[in-house]
Structure 1
Amino acid sequence: MARAITLIRSTSLSDIAEYAYAATAPAESRLIFLAGACPLNDDGSTAAIGDYAGQAVKAVENMQAALAASGASLQDVISTRVLVASVRRKDLVAAWEVVRDAFADHDVPSTLMGVTVLGYEDQLVEIEAVAAVLDSGDR
């Protein structure tokens, strides 16, 4: 399947970032706005309590399920926002490394943010995403 996403890099910006600085999707693409993917198990309990990387893994799994239900995959994501309930950079990095590795070469523009609290009991990580797909629109 043809991909709608074009990742944009700039030689005038630092190459230290582990992601593209911008991305585009053509006008005929169907945009998919995902709710924040949370580290929740099927029974509604929070996964990997106290473990930033473990919660990031579960949030990525849940994001992939939401994408699949929308006819998309990680390769169709155009941007992400990774929210981590911590003021410690190492906690943010632990979550980020999981997200970065899940996306592999499809290094979409991303924002990594430390926040004070997230919505579920013991929740440490949440991942927001927007995806774009080219399809017939027959849904």
Structure 2
Amino acid sequence: MGADLYSERVTRFLEAAETAVDGKPSLSDVAEYAYVAITPPGRSLVHVAGACPLAPDGTTVAIGDVRGQAARCVENLVQSLAAAGAGLGDVVKTTVYVASAEQADLVAAWEVVRDAIAPHRPPSTLLGVAALGYDDQLVEIEAVAAV
């Protein structure tokens, strides 16, 4: 697919996400992320396993601190992306898991992730879960990047 056709398709998808379709209201503009991302031609997708709040020795850091764990997850995500030749600006999708039913905890984790990725705003999903895999783990960040 040529660059002009790709650019036209991206513009069309983004406009469709922002405007009324078939008389239905457009999507809300309050989201702090994009509703859609399209991988440019010639790029490879990098699927990053969930980045966890683990120190190099395997211990969970910032026990009981959602923001602290989210920050460590971002640090570990950056390292994983770098190993694949990517950075936060290459991320095309994130999923942030928070082991909490409290909306304030989800928002706290999201704010750390949002601020780390800014001004980039890839499509993202934020959800509370019952538990995560490591002892005392509260946050995990999964990502897909395009390089």
User: What is the TM-score with the length of structure 1 in the denominator?
Assistant: 0.89
Counterpart amino acid of 1:21? Y
Q: 1:107 aligns with which of 121, 131, 143?
A: 121
SS at match of 2:18: coil
- Aligned-residue sequence identity (percent) comes to 62
The structure with the larger Rg is 2
SS at match of 2:140: strand
The 2-side partners of 1:26 and 1:108 are apart by 14
Which runs of 5 or more structure 1 residues have no equivalent in the other structure?
Answer: 1-5, 134-139
SS at match of 1:22: coil
Counterpart amino acid of 1:17? A
More helix by share: 2
| RMSD of aligned alpha carbons | 1.3
Q: Which has the higher contact order (CA 8 A, sep 6+)?
A: 1
Q: 1:13 aligns with which of 18, 27, 32?
A: 27
Which runs of 5 or more structure 2 residues have no equivalent in the other structure?
Answer: 1-9, 20-25
Once the two structures are overlaid, the 10-residue window that deviates more, 97-106 or 6-15, is 6-15
The 2-side partners of 1:51 and 1:76 are apart by 28
Does residue 40 of structure 1 match 2:54? yes
The 2-side partners of 1:121 and 1:45 are apart by 8
SS at match of 2:37: strand
Q: 1:53 aligns with which of 42, 67, 75?
A: 67
Number of residue pairs aligned between Structure 1 and Structure 2: 128
Does residue 24 of structure 1 match 2:38? yes
Structure 1 position 127, deviation (Å): 0.3
User: What is the TM-score with the length of structure 2 in the denominator?
Assistant: 0.84
Q: Which residue of 2 aligns with 1:131?
A: 145
Q: Which residue of 1 aligns with 2:23?
A: none
The 2-side partners of 1:18 and 1:67 are apart by 22
Structure 1 position 10, deviation (Å): 1.8
More strand by share: 1
Moved over 2 A (4+): 6-9
